[in-house]
Structure 1
Amino acid sequence: MNWDEQLFAVLDDLEQQAEALYGAERDAELADRSRAEYASVTLASRLMASLDRDVALSLRGVGRVEGTLQRVGTGWALLQGAGGDWVVHLDAVSGVAGASPRSTPEVAWSPLTRLGLGSALRRLGEAQEQCLLHLRDGGRLEGRVRRVGADFAEVEVAPERVELIAFAALAAIQSR
């Protein structure tokens, strides 16, 4: 092998080493970006991608609730199960099984899905449905939602007996 072939062999070797180092650096950068992007994924966006799937939600004060995920809104989800429909306060969710591995970013949500928990409770009130309210402390309250404020619901538990329930205390509402 003459000197110019040796020089080209050395240069080819250096170029291959540089490409390998660049590839390793790029892989590490992509992994960092992936971790950083995933840090912005919310539980609600994972649930939004799980619409029409059978899921199991673990709720503080309630336990495990299973059913088909019908709707997701800002701070709440609607689950259709064997025991009726459940309006679930997402702040009470401690775990989810059966969710899609994907997520739907909030910018892609319909304007209707941006309605909060109060809107879902107002719909129950308009329907005059008898409901079972499950509280995060494990308590239960049966009645009809009458009016909904900014952060509470007015529930008629008996004729002429009304209780105010703070959204912060609410885990889920099960329609009867």
Structure 2
Amino acid sequence: MDDRIEALLSDVEAMHASREAHARRGELSDEVAVHAAQRTLLERMRGAIGQPVQVVVAAREISGTAVFLGDGIFVIAGIEATIVTIDWIREIRTRSRRHRYETGPLERLGMASALRRLASDHEEISLELAGEGGAIRGRSDMVASDYIEISGRIIPHRSIALVQARVNPFA
């Protein structure tokens, strides 16, 4: 009979320990959820700088190393440097789980700055336009604050999904 009482007490203790562990996991889960709710996509992208990434824009996937995060742009170095407009990104994959909170000193530079730097080096670039806009290849004739003139066409910056060039404009 003593064995049955000991077994019953062991079961009760195990059940109590299990409930406490479950409650602690629930509290931890709630704490993790609250912490995650405060994080942003830009912080996650900042944490991926220097890491391999895959970015899906429209129907294309761009792979390489994340090298720069600017005002509305994410630069990926691969076979070519790709300047991706953040608003046109559909998906990002990275092995990095880091978030970086502090902004870099050059993070205020955006698409116009990248295009101006490429134009000053007389680099040939390829613009991929959002939606069904297609692609335009050439050297820019002029870069204004909100548009670029290239191959006789005036393209608003907001229409550019990505830019590809041989060199990273922020290197």
Q: TM > 0.5 between the two?
A: yes
Aligned to 1:141, the other structure's residue is in SS state strand
CA drift of 1:140 comes to 0.4
Give 2:38's aligned residue.
40
Distance change in 2, residues 1:109/1:165 (3 Å): same
User: 1:93 Cα shift?
Assistant: 1.0
| Match 1:97 to one of 77, 89, 93 | 93
Instruction: Give how far 1:124 is off.
Output: 1.7
Paired residue for 1:115, among 109, 115, 125? 109
Residue 74 of structure 1 and its aligned partner are, at CA, apart by 2.2
- Tell me the amino acid that sits aligned with residue 114 of structure 1: R
In 2: Cα distance, 1:109 partner to 1:155 partner:
31
1:47/1:32 CA distance change after superposition, 3 Å? same
| TM superposition shift of 1:96 | 1.4
Q: Contact conserved, 1:46 with 1:99, CA < 8 A, in 2?
A: no
CA-atom RMSD in angstroms:
2.5
Give the count of matched residue pairs: 150
Q: What residue in structure 2 maps to residue 141 of structure 1? A: 136
Deviation at 1:116, TM superposition (A): 2.4
SS in 1 for 2:106: helix
Q: Secondary structure at the match of 1:114?
A: coil
Distance 2:56 2:95 in 1: 13
The CA distance in 1 between the partners of 2:35 and 2:156, in whole Å, is 34
Aligned residue runs from structure 1 range 40-119, under 5 A: 40-61=38-59, 63-82=60-79, 84-105=80-101, 108-119=102-113
- CA shift, 1:22, in A, is 8.9
* Consecutive unaligned residues in structure 1, runs of 5 or more: 1-16
Superposition deviation, residue 99 in structure 1:
4.1
Matched, 1:126 2:117: no
Counterpart residue identity of residue 115, structure 2: L
Residues 143 and 155, structure 1, Cα contact 8 Å, conserved in 2: no
**What is the alpha-carbon distance in structure 2 between the residues aligned to residue 21 and residue 64 of structure 1?**
46
TM-score normalised by structure 1 residue count: 0.72
CA distance in 2, matches of 1:168, 1:99: 29
CA contact (8 A) 1:55 1:66 kept: yes
